[in-house]
A and B are shown apart, each in its own frame.
Chain A
Amino acid sequence: MAPGSTTERAVVVGAGLAALRGAEAMREAGFTGALAIVGAEPYRPYDRPPLSKHVLIGETRPDATTLPSSLGADVDWHLGSSAERLDRGSRTLHLADGRALPYDRLLIATGTRARPWPNPHEGRLAGVFTLRGRDDAAALRAALAAGPRRVLVIGGGFIGCEVASACRQLGLPVTLVEPSPTPLARVLGGTVGAFIGAIHAGRGVDLRCGSEVEWLEEAEGRFVRAHLTDGTRIEADVAVIALGAVRNTEWLDGSGLSADPGGVDCDAAGYVLDTDGQPDPRIAAAGDVARFPHPLYGGRRVALEHWSQAVAQGIHAGRLLAGANPEGPYGALPTFWSAQGDVVVKSVGLTEGADALAITLGEPGSGRFVAVYGQAGRCIAAVAVDSARWLPAHADLVAAGAPFPPDGAATDRPSKGIMVLAPGFP
């Protein structure tokens, strides 16, 4: 059956950004068959970035973040019911509410969920929150608006830093506990992490790096204090668990597809692979859940939790499933941003494997700078702190794999020389 046939049935599993842009791309590429979108949450696709920023400080309502869309009324929405099982033999998706959806084309975009606190009882205490969905953000916003004595943020990644910044914007005392020597150490390395940590410390975040929370104490079912492994206690009314995300792939167990908690595997074109490594030409994946070989990084398999990746890969996968010839292997340059209070951190490329770091612009101590990450003499990534307009020139260096340290390009240091440092990855 031709992909454009009106009798074809397409099912999109997931109802986030990648799912929405994928469904739109299928329609725009001429797919005129039946189109169903399945979402575990009861909401139309919404934008997540505001949830850890202006929703928490009360400037944006959680339900105001519904995404703009070009989809029309010819979409069958199955919201509030998650995918439970995929039967590729009969080409049927089974939902948790018992419904069964037949498909000819399937887009997997089930994304991730917040990694829970390892102790389930402590994780369920009143005052303990994770942050991933709209309901999570609404609940945390209510807790912050109630004026807690102190907020404890567990985990110093991007979400942890954004939540801590929101607390300071609200004037709330906040402690951030991170086992690494600096915030953002895993993604940006300890050198840039220390520069950004200094900005947060200067704004009143109580940073406890190199520390770990051992357990959460309760009184009458409410979280009241945290105990660190070094014996320190932190008195707080709210704890935010910001330990990263887990990919939603359990529903693929038994499907014969190659999937695990790290994602579902795709080939270079975007088709999902079975456990024998063969692509299923009816199934593609996009967004946080898709693990694919990135052509810019030697075909290393990556699953990227980036907003821009959800958009670009969603569009790519939608076109692929609609039978529109994709331009080639999917390989958009990874880009990322994080607004931490009014500080903007943007990146291009992937820092993993970096062996050197060059400050090409600005001064880290001033809070505005650009850092380029090098590996084996090539530029592999760049990070800009409150210096976004300089990033596109650096993106060109990264996309081209230009020699590192960059010489003369996109730098304000012709006389100072480029400062080369160790990136400080663990």
Chain B
Amino acid sequence: MSTPADASSGSPPGLRVCVDLNLCQAYAQCCYAAPRHFRIEGHEALFYDPAPAAQDRADIERARVACPVQAIRVEDPGQAS
């Protein structure tokens, strides 16, 4: 797991990630896409980093789209929409 960017350090704003763990069925595609930010504990307990650093956005986006049940929600304050 990476250390989330510290808001006070002047680094770019980090991402915000939230997984709907009701939907999650431990297909673990996110773990392959972004192994430093998602992992399965035991049979099916997903642990994820809710505050990845901005430079990890490509991995996080890969994980988000890879989820078969689309349970991953991401906010990227550094990426103006």
Q: Do A and B come from one complex?
A: yes
Q: Contact residues of A with B, CB < 8 Å?
A: 47, 49-50, 54, 59-61, 64-70, 307-308, 311, 335-337, 339, 341-344, 346, 368, 386, 388-389
- Bin the interface of chain B by size: 20 to 34
Q: A61-B4, A386-B43 are in contact. Are A339 and B49 (CB under 8 A)?
A: no
CB-CB < 8 A to B15: which residues of A?
A: 68
Chain B nearest CB: distance from A336 CB in Å? 7
Cβ of B66 < 8 Å from any Cβ of A?
Answer: no
Cβ of B1 < 8 Å from any Cβ of A?
Answer: yes
Q: Contact residues of B with A, CB < 8 Å?
A: 1, 4, 15-18, 20-22, 24-26, 41-45, 47, 49-51, 73-75
Contact yes or no, B17 A386, CB < 8 A: no
CB-CB < 8 A to B50: which residues of A?
A: 47, 50, 60, 64-66
Contact yes or no, A389 B4, CB < 8 A: no
Task: Provide a sorted-by-A list of 6 A–B residue pairs whose CB atoms are within 8 angstroms.
Answer: A70-B75, A307-B22, A311-B20, A339-B21, A342-B41, A388-B24
For chain B, what secondary structure do more than half of its interface residues adopt (helix, strand, loop), or is it mixed? loop
Contact yes or no, A68 B75, CB < 8 A: yes
Q: A60-B50, A389-B26 are in contact. Are A342 and B43 (CB under 8 A)?
A: yes
Contact yes or no, B51 A335, CB < 8 A: no
Chain A nearest CB: distance from B38 CB in Å? 12
- With beta carbons under 8 angstroms apart, the residue of B4, B22, B42, B51 that contacts A346 is B22
Q: How far is the CA of A67 from the CA of B50 in the complex (A)?
A: 8
Q: How far is the CA of A61 from the CA of B2 in the complex (A)?
A: 12
CB-CB < 8 A to A66: which residues of B?
A: 16, 50-51
Contact yes or no, A59 B4, CB < 8 A: no
Contact yes or no, A59 B44, CB < 8 A: no
CB-CB < 8 A to A49: which residues of B?
A: 21
Q: How far is the CA of A196 from the CA of B70 in the complex (A)?
A: 29
Contact yes or no, B16 A67, CB < 8 A: yes
Additional 5 contacts, C-beta under 8 A, given A60-B50, A61-B51, A337-B21: A66-B50, A344-B42, A344-B44, A368-B43, A386-B44
Chain A nearest CB: distance from B81 CB in Å? 9
Closest to B76 in A: A68
Contact yes or no, A342 B45, CB < 8 A: yes
Q: How far is the CA of A368 from the CA of B51 in the complex (A)?
A: 31
CB-CB < 8 A to A386: which residues of B?
A: 42-44
Contact yes or no, B41 A68, CB < 8 A: no
Contact yes or no, A68 B73, CB < 8 A: yes
Q: How far is the CA of A50 from the CA of B74 in the complex (A)?
A: 17
- With beta carbons under 8 angstroms apart, the residue of B51, B73, B75 that contacts A64 is B51
Q: How far is the CA of A343 from the CA of B20 in the complex (A)?
A: 17
Closest to A347 in B: B22
Q: How far is the CA of A8 from the CA of B16 in the complex (A)?
A: 31
Q: How far is the CA of A388 from the CA of B74 in the complex (A)?
A: 23
Closest to B47 in A: A54
Closest to A306 in B: B22
Q: A49-B21, A50-B50 are in contact. Are A68 and B45 (CB under 8 A)?
A: no
Contact yes or no, B17 A344, CB < 8 A: no
Pairs of residues from A and B, 4 with the lowest C-beta to C-beta distance, nearest first: A342-B42, A68-B75, A64-B51, A342-B41
- With beta carbons under 8 angstroms apart, the residue of B16, B44, B49, B73 that contacts A388 is B44
Q: How far is the CA of A386 from the CA of B44 in the complex (A)?
A: 6
Closest to A338 in B: B21
Closest to B5 in A: A64
